């Protein structure tokens, strides 16, 4: 961090930061420590738009997504899906209930297209 003063004698900070990015949020760590400042960690949540049901994140919801989600729910190994778009019923778990919703949507069941929306998470 570099501290300087502007023309009104306000302290202006230029902050060197490092950050980690886990896909949902970036954590910025200010490494400066001095008489007036403690180390600070600022967590910035990065909003992300996801298409619900698009578990392979290719921009469309189709039978491939339904297959992947049902395999994930059945605990097949090596199934990698986007869990944010897979939790169709919004109960914070990805399981057979979500797979059933997606399978019914793909099969054209009435009312199930209400689940396939773009959400900001």
Q: Summarize as ranges the residues that interact with Ca ion (CB under 5 A).
A: 54, 56, 58, 65, 87, 89, 91, 93, 98
CA distance 106 to 44: 36
Q: Are 98 and 61 in contact (CB under 8 A)?
A: no
Nearer to Ca ion, 70 or 89 (CB): 89
Nearer to Ca ion, 34 or 111 (CB): 111
Nearest-Å Rg of the Cα atoms of the chain is 22
Least CB distance from residue 54 to Ca ion, whole Å?
4
Least CB distance from residue 62 to Ca ion, whole Å?
6
Nearer to Ca ion, 44 or 80 (CB): 80
What DSSP character marks residue 112?
Answer: G
Least CB distance from residue 9 to Ca ion, whole Å?
55
Least CB distance from residue 88 to Ca ion, whole Å?
6
Q: Are 1 and 32 in contact (CB under 8 A)?
A: yes
Nearer to Ca ion, 15 or 67 (CB): 67
CA distance 2 to 100: 55
Tokens at 104, concatenated: 């019914």
């Amino acid at each position: 961090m570099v501290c300087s003063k502007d023309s009104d004698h306000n302290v202006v900070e230029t902050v060197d930061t490092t950050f980690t990015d886990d896909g949902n949020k970036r954590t910025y760590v200010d490494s400066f420590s001095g008489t007036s400042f403690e180390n600070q960690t600022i967590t910035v949540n990065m909003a992300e738009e996801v298409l619900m049901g698009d578990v392979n994140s290719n921009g469309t919801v189709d039978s491939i997504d339904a297959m992947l989600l049902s395999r994930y729910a059945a605990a097949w190994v090596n199934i990698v899906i986007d869990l944010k778009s897979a939790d169709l019923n919004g109960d914070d778990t990805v399981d057979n209930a979500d797979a059933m919703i997606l399978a019914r949507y793909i099969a054209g069941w009435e009312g199930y297209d209400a689940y396939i929306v773009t959400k900001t998470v």
